[in-house]
């Protein structure tokens, strides 16, 4: 079966501001039903890239497409197929939630029963149906974020761009937002999500792209990015006795490195897979070591981010 056609596509995108290359030869695709996490330090080019995709800026070279339509040549068609949730958004204080969403539904040309159905569906999906008459100014930060997501999806776009959607949210609100993003992907929408909360991106994204100084440094599924950076697992072992002997035994083993003891806990790196970890634990016990704890942790997306980026700014 052939892979689905890309819903979001960037083709060798460049954006110059004087001598600064804010976006420098960026290419990637997002298929229907996929969530791509867009990661990079401040000033890396994320927002400029998303503004170009949202038809709010023009590239210096290259092009970007949403559902096959060019942001340069067909911006009006792109806007009908795209929902954009910026990192900072305006909410009108003198309207309630229903009026706010109804205004944007009208802006997208919805009318009559179709407009009312779109507003009701959006309020229900975002969990704001109990607050439809509440003034926007009285909403909490989390509820305002939901309302802004509702504004972006009111016209049922094929693709969504979310710039820092979880910024400032409490843990429960972030969990609910993550659930909504996955539900939108399950409905077949392509999502590009920028966030500094990398642990959450790792949980909800199908693929990630790490950008710095306008260039993509790493891209692929989370597992591919981790594997591509030669990441290893860190293992901690707690021994009831003979710690020095255990350190020597571990240091002589293949696939192990950086064996360090701290009291009765020994930490080391392991290049093997899960089966090899299980074999290592078996060998430890068979060698006569009394092991009370054995735990391993794979390098995280944060570790990869710190490894491939330098913190350089333009």
Report the distance separating Cα 67 and Cα 75, nearest Å: 12
Architecture, CATH, for domain 233-298: 2-Layer Sandwich (3.30)
* Residue pair 15/167 in contact by the 8 Å Cβ criterion: no
pLDDT of amino acid 269:
87
Report the distance separating Cα 71 and Cα 79, nearest Å: 9
With tokens 């979001």, the residue in question is 8
| Class of 8-91+139-228 in CATH | alpha beta
Using CA atoms, how far residue 257 sits from 56, 71, 250, 264, 286, in Å, is: 50, 50, 8, 18, 21
pLDDT digits (tens, 9 = 90+) for 188-245: 999 999 987 787 787 889 999 999 999 999 888 877 776 665 556 789 999 999 999 9
- Across the chain, which distance is largest between two alpha carbons, in Å? 78
* Residue pair 92/136 in contact by the 8 Å Cβ criterion: yes
pLDDT of amino acid 2:
45
Per-residue tokens: 143: 């509820």
DSSP of the chain: -PPPPPSEEEEEEEEEETTEEEEEEEEEEE-TT-EEEEE--TTSSHHHHHHHHTTSS--SEEEEEETTEETTT-HHHHHHHEEEE-SS----TTSBHHHHHHHHHHHTT--HHHHHHHHHHHHHHTT-GGGTTSBGGG--HHHHHHHHHHHHHTT--SEEEEESTTTT--HHHHHHHHHHHHHHHHTT-EEEEE-S-HHHHHHH-SEEEEEETTEEEEEE-HHHHHHHTT--EEEEEEESS-HHHHHHHHHTSTTEEEEEEETTEEEEEE-S-HHHHHHHHHHHHHTT--EEEEEEEE--HHHHHHHH------
Paired with 96 in beta bridges are: 135
Per-residue tokens: 73: 């040549």
Q: Closest Cα partner for 32 from 192, 177, 163?
A: 192
**CA contacts within 13 A on the Cβ side of 59:** 27
* Per-residue confidence in pLDDT tens, the chain, 314 aa: 444 589 999 999 999 999 999 999 999 999 999 999 999 888 899 999 999 999 999 999 999 999 999 999 999 999 999 999 988 777 677 899 999 999 999 999 999 999 999 999 999 999 999 999 999 989 888 899 999 999 999 999 999 999 988 887 888 888 898 999 999 999 999 999 998 778 778 788 999 999 999 999 988 887 777 666 555 678 999 999 999 999 999 999 988 988 999 999 999 988 877 888 899 999 999 999 999 999 987 666 776 777 777 766 66
In the chain, domain spans: 8-91+139-228, 233-298
């Amino acid at each position: 079966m052939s892979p689905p056609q890309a819903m979001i596509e960037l083709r060798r995108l460049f954006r110059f501001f004087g001598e600064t290359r804010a976006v420098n030869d960026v290419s990637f695709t997002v298929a229907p039903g996929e969530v791509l996490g867009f990661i990079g330090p401040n000033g890396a080019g994320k927002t400029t890239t998303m503004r170009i995709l949202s038809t709010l800026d023009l590239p210096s070279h290259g092009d970007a497409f949403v559902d096959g339509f060019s942001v340069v040549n067909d911006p009006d068609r792109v806007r009908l197929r795209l929902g954009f949730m910026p990192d900072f958004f305006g909410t009108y204080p003198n309207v309630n939630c229903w009026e706010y969403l109804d205004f944007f539904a009208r802006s997208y040309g919805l009318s009559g029963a179709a407009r009312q159905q779109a507003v009701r569906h959006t309020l229900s999906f975002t969990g704001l149906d109990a607050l439809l008459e509440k003034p926007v100014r009285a909403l909490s930060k989390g509820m305002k974020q939901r309302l802004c997501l509702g504004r972006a999806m009111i016209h049922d776009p094929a693709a969504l761009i979310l710039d820092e959607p979880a910024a400032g949210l409490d843990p429960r609100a972030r969990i609910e937002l993550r659930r909504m993003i996955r539900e939108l992907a399950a409905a077949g929408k392509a999502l590009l999500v920028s966030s500094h909360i990398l642990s959450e991106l790792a949980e909800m994204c199908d693929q990630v792209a790490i950008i710095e100084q306008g260039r993509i440094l790493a891209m692929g599924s989370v597992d591919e990015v981790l594997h591509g950076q030669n990441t290893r697992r860190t293992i901690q072992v707690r021994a009831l006795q003979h710690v020095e002997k255990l350190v020597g035994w571990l240091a002589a083993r293949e696939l192990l490195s950086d064996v360090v003891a701290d009291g009765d806990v020994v930490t080391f790196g392991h290049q093997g897979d899960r089966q090899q970890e299980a074999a290592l634990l078996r060998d430890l016990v068979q060698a006569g070591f009394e092991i009370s704890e054995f735990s391993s942790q794979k390098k995280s997306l944060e570790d990869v981010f710190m490894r491939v980026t330098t913190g350089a700014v333009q």
